[in-house]
Amino acid sequence: MLGVTALLATLAMPVGAARAAVTDAFYDRVFMLAAHQKCDLFEPQLIAALDAAALQARGAALRAGTQAADLTAAAGRAQSKAARTRCDDHDLNRVRARVQAGFAGWSRAARMSFPGDRSAWRGDRYESQGVGWRLVQDSATGGSPVRFGLAGTGPTATTPIAVVSFLGRPRPYAARLVMRDREQAPRVWLTGGGLPPESVRSVFFAAAAQAAEPTLLGEGVRQGETWTFSAEAADAIAQLDPRESFVIEFLFRDDSVAEARFEAGDFAAGRAFLAMGAI
């Protein structure tokens, strides 16, 4: 276990560092979040930044090979350490100052990429007059580009949507988002491309479809459709293991299905990044 004076030594280490380093970074960030909950150390924006950083460190540790049970144990140790640390502890206050200095620049970041094994989520905290992507990942079905993420005029009021631009075929009549059902299959599913059998999947159907705003289309794409999903669907993605996949299926009247696969990755960390608010 790290002592208080050694906390946050790995805050600046990049995702993809050695397993021990990213596990230590996760421990550090959980400790500071627990210490804040006890002692009210930081302003809300910095807490949102710490929350995003903790989730990002967890994802990095899992991708580096750390077992989820080991991370749960590390979080327990960090929270226990925070519970035993006095709010007026000298070393804690020194670390608090280091956190405030270390995250000052991080919290001012307007854009951030959250890389995964194969794909990345791209976060954007700007506000705009029109609807734009605030958190997005790119995929495709066949030769047709598909984007999924959170869209809105700013980072704190967003809607989960998929934007697809089908080339040379009829438009689908429905779209659904498919992933592991955490109640029926509580253990992480990493085989078969990260998606479990149909019997233990959750399905969320899109509520509506409309022509896509040009600001939501990829470079060089002139038309597309926006399919809107529920906030519940976004919450379910955020609770997946970062190594898992989810799929958007587009249903056609000839009974064919077009599938676009996405990586859960650091979606939860990206949402926490947006929670810091507009810049």
Q: Where are the strands (E) in 84-194, listed by range?
A: 111-115, 120-124, 132-141, 144-152, 159-164, 174-180
**Closest C-alpha among 63, 97, 94, 57 to residue 78:** 57
Q: Residues in the chain with pLDDT < 70?
A: 1-18
The structure's pTM equals 0.86
Helix, strand or coil, per DSSP, at residue 248: strand
Note the residue count of the chain.
279
Q: What does the domain layout of the chain look like in residue ranges?
A: 4-108, 115-274
Per-residue pLDDT of 154-170, as tens digits, reads 999 999 999 999 987 78
Share of the chain above pLDDT 90, in %: 72
Angle ∠(132,114,150) on CA atoms, nearest 5: 30
